[in-house]
Amino acid sequence: MEKKSNELAVKLGNKLKKNLQFELFLIPALFFYTLFIIVPLFQGFGYSVTNLHIKTRATDFVGLKNFIDILGDDIIKNSISFTFMYTLATVVLVTAAAIPLALVFDANSHTKNLQRAIFYFPSCVSALIMGFTWRYLLSSDDGGFVNSIIINVFHGHSVNWLSDPVIAQLSNVLVCIWIASGWNATIYLAYLQSIPHEYYEAAYIDGASYIQRVRHITLPLLAPAMTISVMTLLTGGLKLYELPYALTDGGPMRVTHTFTHAIVVRGITEGNYGRASALAVVLFIIIMVFTYVQVSVMSKREEKAY
C-alpha cells in the first residue's frame, strides 16, 4: 500500500516536471501578452471612470459619469444604429452569398481554380485600398464608373451611391459583400470537401433531388463552418473602421460613422480620453456578449447536426 502511493507520488512528480518544462516556454509569450494586451486593457477600464483629457491631464475619479454621458451623446446614436445595421446585413448577406459560392466552387467546371483564386483575392488587399478604389468607382456624379454603366448600358438614372444617407450605408454593405464573400466561401468550401461522398451517393440512390441533398446533407454538415464564418463577420462588423473611413469618411451627415469611428473622434481627435475609454469598454462588452451568445447557440446547432 505504502509502496503504491510512493510510486504514485514519483509518477506525479515526473509528470509535473515534464509539464513544467513545457510551461516555462510560455513565460516569454505570457510576458509580452500581458504587457501589450492585458495591461492596456485594464488601463482602459481604469481611464473610463476618470475625466482624463488631453488638455487637463487630470485623472480624477468621476464614477459612471462617462457612461451616463454616452447615452446623451449624439455622435453615438448614428454610430450604434449604423454599426448594428451593417453587422446584421453583412452577416446575413455574406453568408447567403458565400454558401452558394462554395457549392459552385465545389462543382466541376472548366475554370474552377481561376474562379476560386479571383474570389479569394479581394480579402488579401487592405480594406482601406479597396475602400478608396470603390469610392472612385462609385462617385456620385455622372462620371463615376458604376453610374456611367447605369446611364449608358441600362439607360437609367445616376444613383447617389455615397451622398444619399440611406444608399451610402448600403454601399458600405455592398463593398463588404464584394470583399468578404470569397474569403468566407473558402471556409465553407474547406468543410464542404470534408463531407463524405457516401452520404450523397446514398441520398442519390434513395431518389433525393439536388435541392434535397443540399438542404438535408450539406447545410446541416456545414454548421461548424458557419459558426466560424459568422463569428468573424460579427466581430469584424462590430469593430468596423477602415472601410467606411475610406469609402464615405463617415459622411454624409455622419450616417456611416461606426462605433470605432466614434471612439477615434472622441479620443484621438478631441483628446477626451475618459469618454473614449468608456465607449471602448461598452464596445468590448457588446462584442463579448454577442460573440458568446452566437458561438454558444451555433455550437448547440453543430451538436444537433451530428
Partner 1 sequence: MKKRKNFFIDLIMLPLCLIIVYPFFFIVSTSLKPPSEVASNPFGLTLNLTLNNYLYVFENVPILRAFFNNVIITTSSVALIVIFGTRLYSIGIS
Among 59, 95, 122, 271, binds partner 1 (CB under 8 A): 122
Site string for partner 1, 174-193 (x = CB under 8 A): ----x---x-----------
CB nearer partner 1, residue 86 or residue 119: 119
- Tell which one of 34, 109, 152, 193 touches partner 1 (CB under 8 A): 109
Task: Closer to partner 1 by CB, 210 or 292: give it.
Answer: 210
Q: Are 301 and 249 in contact (CB under 8 A)?
A: no
Distance CA(188)–CA(279), nearest Å, equals 34
Region binding partner 1 by CB under 8 A among candidate stretches 41-49, 118-126, 282-290, 298-306:
118-126
Closest contact distance (angstroms) between CB of 95 and partner 1 is 17
Q: Which of 119, 161, 183, 273 binds partner 1 (CB under 8 A)?
A: 119
The reply on whether position 20 binds partner 1 by CB under 8 A is no
Site for partner 1 in 227-246 (CB under 8 A): none
If the CB atoms of residues 75 and 138 are measured against partner 1, the closer one turns out to be 138
Residues facing 50 on adjacent strands: 61
Q: In the set 22, 61, 154, 306, which binds partner 1 (CB under 8 A)? A: 22
Task: Give the binding range for partner 1 (CB under 8 A) out of 40-48, 79-87, 113-121, 222-230.
Answer: 113-121
Residue 79 C-beta: closest distance to partner 1, Å = 27
Shortest distance (Å) from residue 96 CB to partner 1: 15
CA distance 279 to 105: 42
Q: What is the 3-state secondary structure (H, E, C) of the chain?
A: CHHHHHHHHHHHHHHHHHHHHHHHCHHHHHHHHHHHHHHHHHHHHHHCCECCCCCCCCCCECCCHHHHHHHCCHHHHHHHHHHHHHHHHHHHHHHHHHHHHHHHHHCCCCCHHHHHHHHHHHHHCCHHHHHHHHHHHCCCCCCCHHHHHHHHCCCCCCCCCCCCHHHHHHHHHHHHHHHHHHHHHHHHHHHHCCCCHHHHHHHHHCCCCHHHHHHHHHHHHCHHHHHHHHHHHHHHHHCCCHHHHHHCCCCCCCCCCCHHHHHHHHHHHCCCHHHHHHHHHHHHHHHHHHHHHHHHHHHHHHHHHC
* Residue range at the interface with partner 1 (CB under 8 A); choices 109-117, 224-232, 238-246, 258-266: 109-117
What is the gyration radius of the CA atoms in the chain, in angstroms?
Answer: 26
Name every residue whose Cβ is closer than 8 Å to that of residue 75 and which is 6 or more positions away in sequence.
254, 257, 262, 265, 266
Residues 130-169: x/- map of binding to partner 1 (CB under 8 A)?
x--xx-xx-----x-x--x---------------------
- What the block records as the C-alpha cell of 127 is 480594406
Residue 121 in contact with partner 1, rule: CB under 8 A: yes
Q: Which is nearer to partner 1, 28 or 63 (CB)?
A: 28
Question: Mask: binding to partner 1, 188-217, rule CB under 8 A, as x and -?
Answer: ---------x--xx--x-------------
Pick out residues in 31-70 that bind partner 1 (CB under 8 A). Answer: 32
Binding site for partner 1 (CB under 8 A): 18-19, 22-23, 25-26, 28-29, 32, 104, 107-111, 114-115, 118-119, 121-122, 125, 129-130, 133-134, 136-137, 143, 145, 148, 178, 182, 197, 200-201, 204
